[in-house]
Structure 1
Amino acid sequence: MNTEINPNVKKNVKWMSGLVVIVLIVLLLVLNGFSTVQYGHIGLYKTFGKLNNNTLDPGIHLRLPFVQSIIQVNTQVTKAETDTTASSKDLQPVSTHVAVNYSVNKEAVYHLMNNIGSSFDVIIINPAIQEIVKEVTAKYPAEDLIAKRDVVAGEISENLTKRLAKYDLIVNDINIVNFKFSDAFNQSIEAKQVAQQQALKAENDLKRIQIEGKQKIVQAQAEAESLKLKKLEVTPELVQLKQIEVQEKAVEKWNGQLPNVTGGATPFIDVDSFNQQSTIQSVQP
């Protein structure tokens, strides 16, 4: 049986194998000749380990395969969180959790990456936050750190903005997430608040008592003034008139019979006064 392969077939197989290899190489070169810069990033060419200062906007860009690469730098707002332990002005230990929103200056991406590198958050941002938080915290007593939280955060933000601007980093916002003090200090604050509340209650009670006392004095003065006016209004003429009115009502009700029993110095009817009034009424036209 003849098992020899036709030389033409061998030639065709070698040719086809070479063609496949060439196609694979071309595809590999084509695929490595393009790179994409993602949205919210800035790209930089890196040729044999050297950065090019030409920045690349988001999109597809050509590059030399196996020679060039494109590194991407995030220019979106990024959050860095740091825990810091420090002492207040009155030497109270304070643990602070700070969150900083920052971004990279797009115009200075090359300078940042060429001088610091992609680990700028660890190398620059976190140490700067810790140092500035300690510096600002030491200026305030522990109680003021709580009462003036916004002021403290504003001062930290101002100092951090100046520090990071040297490295082309922009501070967008800063938040003091938490101040944590020792248990002894927390208990002293709680006791002080309770004492202040009790003092405020006592002060309010005293004011209430004083107001009620003044109201009673005013009421008593008004009643005394009323009695005084009433006494001034009672004259002898008024008394006599009242007596006459009473006697007239008694006469109107009298049935002509004298009472069987009388007593006292005052008669049932003042006859003289009654006759005098009758005479006056008869004289009048």
Structure 2
Amino acid sequence: MSKYQQPKMNVNFGKVKLAILGIIVLVIIAAISAASVQIVESGNRGVLLHWSAVDTSVPPLQEGLHFVVPFQDKVVNMEVRTLKFVKATSGASRDLQTVSTEVTVNYRAAPNSVNVLYQEVGLDYEGRIIQPAVEEVVKQITAKYNAEELITKRPLVKADIETEITARLTPYNILTDAISITDFQFSPLFSQAIESKVEAEQKALKAENDLRRIEVEARQQEQQAKGIAAANVAEAAGEAEAIKIINEALAQNPNYLEWLKVQAWDGKLPLVVGEGGTPFIQIPTR
């Protein structure tokens, strides 16, 4: 054999083909297995698609592992957790004041109807349904109130906005958990006018309270004066009655005055005595 002649190799092409075919079969089986298993993630519901069409005869799939027909069926995850949507919009009040309103909507897809929501709207239901509904409702409600009423009647305004937004979203199987007005902004000129009015009302209220206080104090002083006068009158009447009684007693018994002196004596002998030994002036001995 020549030194340049290559050695012959015996290759069994049949075995090679079988090996390749086995690999292909394994790949196909793995692909079919992967396609037949669908996972619905936590906080989601699964929408079952049959040849890309929503199968509304089947309720939304719960969280976890699900087996479907490979390549024919597919599962789309729809989040049902509470989400937050914040929208700032401008409108005009009934008295044509420009009002900037910021509204926060906490919402979620109805868990038992996500298949209908997906079929009618799709995944971007926030941009297609919620955003335009909030903008329209806020403009509509703010136009019903004067700018000042938007401040003084804020709970009523919030209730109107919440009721209307809920009514707009419910038909699309979107639930609202809470709706809040997070901010009201007016033009600088109007804000200054409101501050001036509030300040004037506060001053008027203070003046009214001061007037009431003065009136109450005056009535108190009047009643106090009447009480003192009545007490003086009663005291004078008592003294006059006492004098009358003493005079009447003296008229009936001249010794009555001496008896009164004896009743008032404390038993100590003074340095100076009156007629008959009756104490007249008591002088301290120490």
Normalising by structure 1, report the TM-score. Answer: 0.76
State the percentage of identical aligned residues.
32
**What is the deviation of 1:132?**
1.1
Give the alignment of 1:216-231 within 5 angstroms.
Answer: 216-231=221-236
- Are residues 1:42 and 2:39 paired? no
Query: Is 1:3 paired with 2:7?
Result: yes
Q: Aligned pairs, how many?
A: 255
CA pair 106-226 structure 1, distance change in 2 beyond 3 A:
closer
Change (3 A) 1:225 1:42: closer
Answering whether residue 169 of structure 2 is matched by residue 164 of structure 1, we say yes
Quick one: distance in 2 between partners of 1:47 and 1:237?
A: 121
Alignment of 1:1-285 (within 5 A): 2-8=6-12, 10-53=13-56, 54-55=58-59, 56-232=61-237, 233-234=239-240, 235=243, 253-254=271-272
Determine helix, strand or coil for the equivalent of 2:86.
strand
Distance 1:229 1:133 in 2: 74
Counterpart amino acid of 1:167? Y
The DSSP-based 3-state class of the residue aligned with 2:191 is helix
**Greater alpha carbon shift after TM alignment, 144-153 vs 16-25:** 16-25
Secondary structure of the residue aligned to 1:178 is strand
RMSD over equivalenced CA pairs, Å = 3.1
What are the superposed Cα offsets for residues 158-179 of structure 1, whole Å, 9 maximum, x if unpaired? Answer: 2222222222222222111111
Aligned AA for 2:143? A
CA distance in 2, matches of 1:29, 1:162: 45
Deviations 1:219-259 (A, max 9, x none): 322333333344442447769969x96xx99xx6548xxxx
Q: AA paired with 1:146?
A: I
Flag the 1:225–1:253 CA change in 2: closer, same or farther, 3 A: farther
- Describe the shift of the 1:237–1:167 C-alpha distance in structure 2 as closer, same or farther (beyond 3 A): closer
State the alpha-carbon separation in 1 of the partners of residues 7 and 200 from structure 2: 109
Measured in 2, the distance between the counterparts of 1:237 and 1:111 equals 108
Change (3 A) 1:206 1:15: same
Q: 1:201 to 1:25 in 2, by over 3 A?
A: same
1:166 is paired with a residue whose SS is helix
Which amino acid letter does the alignment assign opposite residue 45 of structure 1?
L
Distance 1:254 1:64, change over 3 A: closer
Tell me the distance in 1 between the aligned counterparts of 2:26 and 2:227. Answer: 115
**Alpha-carbon offset, residue 215 of structure 1:** 2.3
Unaligned runs of 5+ in 2: 251-256, 279-286
**What's the secondary structure of 2:55's corresponding residue?**
strand
Q: Cα offset for 1:24?
A: 2.3
C-alpha distance 34-220 of structure 1, shift in aligned 2 (>3 A): same
Give 2:254's aligned residue: none
